[in-house]
Structure 1
Amino acid sequence: MHMISALLFGAPDAHGSRRRADLVQDLLWAHSDPEDAVQHIRVRPHPVGLEAVLLLGGRADGAATAVVALLGRSAAPLSRQGYTALPPGAPVQPPVPSGPGD
């Protein structure tokens, strides 16, 4: 079993972050495929938005690929919830918001 973490950047919601984490967790499950070999998903509040921790079966080299594929399939629904996924292993830097005139 392999554990992989991915950050989901978004505006933290101080009053509903646990509810939003539960919603995003369900969203990730809904977009997972059997070949992803996802065994467990846990989403929790994080200072930059949410953190998704996934446990996957199968080969180690396929686990990160499966998570990247899952995040890709989930990109549009995550965006509708106000989140952008940071792939596993990427440097942790929140996206810079664009301002007027950019």
Structure 2
Amino acid sequence: MKTLGEKFKILRQKKGVNQKTMAESLGISIPAYSKLETGITDPNFSRINQIAEVHELTLRQFLDIGEEGGSEQEQLVAELKEKVRELESSVIRLQGKVIDLYDKEERRK
């Protein structure tokens, strides 16, 4: 079973941000956040809930991170699928912009 600090670190690394960024998003100092990750400080319930919210997770999803049963893997797959959908939407929007620019350039000729 992962400690809360280990779960905080897993989520932060998965998000690709440093401790400073996480501390700022939580409204705490970098040393305070570091102590949460290393287990020096035990977080209260509201801090755990806040961290889960920052990562857009329910408390249940947060608590399941790193536990047996594949729920973390299922969550990662779902997150990756959502990111792919977002990227596909972005690509489609950009393609539309390229077509619009091309049409405008053609009309100028």
Q: Please report the TM-score for the alignment, with normalisation by the length of structure 1.
A: 0.33
Q: Which has the higher helix share?
A: 2
Q: Which has the higher strand share?
A: 1
Q: Please report the TM-score for the alignment, with normalisation by the length of structure 2.
A: 0.32
User: Larger relative contact order (C-alpha < 8 A, sep ≥ 6)?
Assistant: 1
